[in-house]
Amino acid sequence: MHNSLNCAACGIEHAVDSLQNLCRECGKPLLVGYDLAALRDSFTPETVRSRCTRSMWKFSDVLPVDRADEAVSLGEGLTPFIQLKPRGSFEVFEQLFVKDEAFNPTGSFKARGMSAAVTRAVSLGAKVVALPSAGNAAGAATYYAARAGIKCYLFMPEDTPPANIVESVVGGAHVYLVNGLISDCGKLVKRGCEEFGWFDLSTLKEPFRIEGKKTMGYELAFDMADAAGTPQLQLPDVIFYPTGGGTGLIGMWKAFDEMQQLGWIGAERPRMVVVQAENCSPIVRAFEQNADHAELFENAATVASGLRVPAAIGDFLMLKVLRESNGTAVRVSDDDLLEGVREISAVQGIYACPEGGAVWKAAQQLLKSGWLRPNEKIVLFNTGSGLKYNHLFPVEGLPILDHHDPNCLSGVSV
């Protein structure tokens, strides 16, 4: 169980036994701490491997519960780790892997964060949660709230992918579409929380979504060990992560630090790569300018809804991760990321989301520039299912065969 709650910016401590959002002093995100020294003997890789829990709650010792069976869970985590086949444009990479988060409940990595956040919110008495979402967080919040038996209010840009809207409505959430960006939706959530007493589950505006997301980092160390055929945990050389609000990036970096304190790994770290859309790339711009914060990205627009975050409250934490890891930040055009989806799908058999297509194209960019070496161990995160984005790939003009016609196959190209 967690032991402390401190501001990531000013360090001020907050009570762990009451609902918290941002720091009461400076308005920045709060981060959870654990007594890792006390856990070193009992919480080991062997302990994790011996557990039968079929979810991220195998790591419950560093998650917001006293016991794993208290979790609001739908079986999130433990997602596939796939080495890509060296064929076609992938051939140049010797050790290229995909961590495929599409296999989570509700079809994206957002399930991890919502499982942890809803678990903790409910345990502290929350009855109604609310958040803005441009896509997959909405579905995840809907279904974890339903699982917990609490109400969920969602504010989504009106051009949010139809699949995300439908799944949220079907799941019983109170859905409101907004003629603006996710930042505009966030302002309405803030007002609603003040007026109606909802609990705000927005990205990094509560402390526990990051705890769920960090389990990607824990799992990755086990995945890499399994791929190498060794019990010794290890990390890749480079991680490509599609970045909107950045909770997953920050969470994994936190996980690596925790694992080192637990004695699981050494001081080695992957180079972290932030990947954003060309027309919504506030973190890339800030990184290039060597800034500590990212200014609002005006007129943000991209078909990759998970990347359409024009301003992120965790900007300073993301930039810190990039610099500490000797990483970098890359922007990808919408045309390129959609091409990336087609390539991963047709060549590797993984129907990636647009954000997954973006990280693949970013890897190609950095290989071409020389920043990346073909023999490095590289992990691409596919954060969700391509099925959520079918609207981006219209299929028209397919031939319709008359099965009554004995010659109907004559026009089939072979």
What pLDDT does 292 receive? 94
C-alpha–C-alpha distance, residues 3 and 359, integer Å: 35
C-alpha–C-alpha distance, residues 195 and 27, integer Å: 19
How do residues 16-44 score in pLDDT, each as one tens digit?
999 999 999 999 999 999 999 999 999 99
Is it the case that residue 1 has pLDDT exceeding 80? no
How do residues 48-72 score in pLDDT, each as one tens digit?
999 999 999 999 999 999 888 899 9
In DSSP terms, 278 is beta-bridged to none
Percent of the chain with pLDDT over 70: 100
What pLDDT does 214 receive? 98
Q: What is the mean pLDDT of residues 350-371?
A: 98
How do residues 380-404 score in pLDDT, each as one tens digit?
999 999 999 999 999 998 999 999 9
How do residues 243-280 score in pLDDT, each as one tens digit?
999 999 999 999 999 999 999 999 999 999 999 999 99
**pTM score, two decimals?**
0.95
Strands 95-100 and 81-83, how do they pair? antiparallel
In order, the DSSP letters of 18-75 are S---S-TTT-PPEEEE--HHHHTTTS-HHHHHH----SGGGGGGGTT-SSGGGS--SS
Largest CA distance in the chain: 77
What pLDDT does 2 receive? 64
Percent of the chain with pLDDT over 90: 94
C-alpha–C-alpha distance, residues 181 and 13, integer Å: 33
What pLDDT does 342 receive? 98
Task: Kindly list the structural domains of the chain, giving each domain's residue range(s) and its CATH number in brackets, ordered by start.
Answer: 81-107+210-387 (3.40.50.1100)
How do residues 144-165 score in pLDDT, each as one tens digit?
999 999 999 999 999 999 999 9
How do residues 239-251 score in pLDDT, each as one tens digit?
999 999 999 999 9
How do residues 69-109 score in pLDDT, each as one tens digit?
899 999 999 999 999 999 999 999 999 999 999 999 999 99
What pLDDT does 414 receive? 81
The per-residue pLDDT of the chain, averaged, comes to 96
Is it the case that residue 134 has pLDDT exceeding 90? no
